Amino acid sequence: MEARQYDVIIVGGGISGCALLYLLARYTDLKNIALIEKYGSIASLNTHGRNNSQTLHCGDIETNYTLEKAKKVKAAAAMVVNYARQLPSSEHILYKYSKMVLGVGEAECDLLQKRYEEFHPHYDKMQCWDADGISRVEPNVVWGRNERILALGVEDDYSAVNFQALSDSFVSQARQVPGKNISVYLNTRVKSIHQEENNFRVQTSRAPFDARFVVVSASGHSLLFAQNMGYGKEYACLPVAGSFYYAPDILNGKVYTVQNDKLPFAAIHGDPDLLVRGKTRFGPTALILPMLERRNYRTVTDFLRLFSFDRGVMGTMWDLVKVKEIRNYILKNFLFEVPYIRQRLFLKDARKIVPTLQLEDLTFARHIGGVRPVMIDKINRRLHLGEAKINPGNGILFNMTPSPGATSCLQNGEQDLRIIVDYLGCEFNEQKFRSELNPQ
C-alpha cells in the first residue's frame, strides 16, 4: 500500500504531542504534519483533567523543587499563560484560584520560613501567612487545629488548567494556520516504527505513513517504541498511579503540603475540581502499578516488557524498598485502594489539610487518576524524576513526561522543535515565537 508522506509525524495526542503540533504549525515552515492518536479523542489519557491534578506548577508551592528547577517550571507555566490568555476560550482553560503550601508543626514551618527568604525575590506575588493569614484565605484549614501552621501562598494568579481543553485548543489553532496540511488521525494505533533509507515508516491500525521525522509522545509507551528500535535500553519504566478522594466543597483554592525528600509524590493536596463543580478533591496517592495505562489491563504485558527484571531494575527497587520509610509508604498506597480501610487511612492524611474532615465526608473517586511513567535509570540505579527524552540523533525522538509534564508542554515542545529544525534544516520564526510566548 502506498504510504502517505509527512514532514513530521507525532505519535500520541496527549498534551505533549498537541503542543508540539501547534508549535511546528505556527512557527516553522513545515507544511505536512500528522498527529496519530489511538483513542477516539484528544487528551483522553493522563492529560485529561479527571486523571491529573489540574495544577499549573509554577514552583512556588512545590517544596520538592530546588530554586533552579522552580525557575524553569515558572518559565514553562508562563508560556502556557501567554499562549492561552490570547484565546477567546481562555476562561475554559485557565483558572484563577488561591494556592498555598501548608507547613504543619515547628519543623515544616521553619522550613517554609527559610524557603520564603530564598524564593520570594523570584516570586513577587508570594506571601508568607501565619494562622490568621491562612484563615482569611482558607478558614477550614485553620479550624480545629492546635499545632503551629504557616503557609506560602499566592492569592491572585492562574493556578489551575483544564489540560484537555488546552490540548484541544492546540489542535484547533494548528489547523487554522493557513497553507498547512495538518492531519489528525484518531482511533489510529501506531503498531510499529521502522527506519528506512530516507524515512521512517509508521505502521498503524489504519494505514502505513512515512515521515522525515517522528516524535513519539506516548507516555510510558514511548519507551516501548524506543526499545523495540534498539534505543533507551538503559531505562525501565515504573508506572506510579495516583488516586483521588472527593469531599464536599471545603477549600477555596489549592492547598499543597510539604514534600518529604525521601518520598517523591508523597505529599497530597486538596483543591476544587474543575470538572466536578462543588467538590474538593484530595490526592493524588502514589500507587506502583504493573500497567502502563490505568484500568487498561492489556498494558500489563507492555509493562512487563519494559520492566525487565534485570540487575539494574532489581538493584534500584532494592535500594528503594530497603528504606523503611519508603517501604511503609509503598504499602500504605496499596492500602489506599482497599475498600473499607482506604477512607479511614486516607482521612488521616487529608486531615493534615482540613483537620475537621469526617469519614463520611470522603469518597473514593472511582475511575479518576492516571499514571506517571517514572523512568528507572538502570545504569545509575536510581529513579529519574521528571521528563525523559531519548534522542538517538537520527530523526526520531521519544518523550516520557510525568508531572509536571502538562505544565511544561510548550517548554518541552520547544526543545523538540529545535531538534527538528536542526535536523530537517527548516525555517523557524524565532522572533514571532519569542514575542508571542515569551520563553525565558
Ligand X SMILES: Cc1cc2nc3c(=O)[nH]c(=O)nc-3n(C[C@H](O)[C@H](O)[C@H](O)COP(=O)(O)OP(=O)(O)OC[C@H]3O[C@@H](n4cnc5c(N)ncnc54)[C@H](O)[C@@H]3O)c2cc1C
- Interaction between residue 396 and ligand X (CB under 6 A): no
Residue number, 48 or 352, with CB nearest to ligand X = 48
Q: Which is nearer to ligand X, 150 or 420 (CB)?
A: 420
Interaction residues for ligand X, span 211-230 (CB under 6 A): 217-219, 221
State the minimum distance, in angstroms, from the CB of residue 123 to ligand X. 18
Residue 411 within binding range of ligand X, rule CB under 6 A:
no
Per the structure block, which three cell numbers stand in for 252? 477555596
Task: Please enumerate, as own/partner, the contacts of 377-382 that have beta carbons within 8 Å and a separation of 24 or more.
Answer: 377/234, 377/235, 377/316, 378/234, 378/235, 378/236, 378/310, 378/311, 378/312, 378/313, 378/315, 378/316, 379/234, 379/312, 381/312, 381/315, 381/316, 381/319, 382/316, 382/319
Residues of this chain, 361-380, that bind ligand X according to CB under 6 A:
369-372
By the rule CB under 6 A, 287 interacts with ligand X = no
* Distance from C-alpha of 248 to C-alpha of 283, rounded to nearest angstrom: 14
Distance, CA of 265 to chain centre:
12
Among 101, 109, 190, 215, binds ligand X (CB under 6 A): 190
Is 413 a binding residue for ligand X by CB under 6 A? The answer is no
Beta carbon of residue 302, minimum distance to ligand X (angstroms, whole number): 9
**CB closer to ligand X out of 16 and 150:** 16
Q: How far is the CB of 12 from ligand X (least distance, A)?
A: 3
> Which one of 6, 22, 30, 53 is in contact with ligand X (CB under 6 A)?
53
CB of 42 to ligand X, least distance (A): 8
What is the greatest pairwise CA distance in the chain? 72
Is 284 a binding residue for ligand X by CB under 6 A? The answer is yes
C-alpha cell at 341: 480501610
In angstroms, the Cα distances linking 291 to 186, 189, 257, 294 are 23, 18, 28, 7
- Residue 189 as a binder of ligand X (CB under 6 A): the answer is yes
Task: Figure out which of the listed residues 8, 33, 35, 45 binds ligand X, where binding follows CB under 6 A.
Answer: 45
C-alpha distances in angstroms, 215 versus 14, 258, 398? 12, 36, 6
Q: What are phi and psi of 140, to 5 degrees?
A: -70, -15
- The set of cell numbers assigned to 93 is 482553560
The answer to whether 251 contacts ligand X (rule: CB under 6 A) is no
Least Å distance, CB 116 to ligand X, is 23
Percentage helix, strand, coil for the chain under 3-state DSSP, each rounded to 5: 35, 25, 40
Out of 3, 4, 32, 39, the only residue in the binding site for ligand X (CB under 6 A) is 39
Footprint on this chain of ligand X (rule: CB under 6 A) = 11-17, 36-39, 43-47, 51-55, 57, 189-190, 217-219, 221, 242, 284, 369-372, 401-407
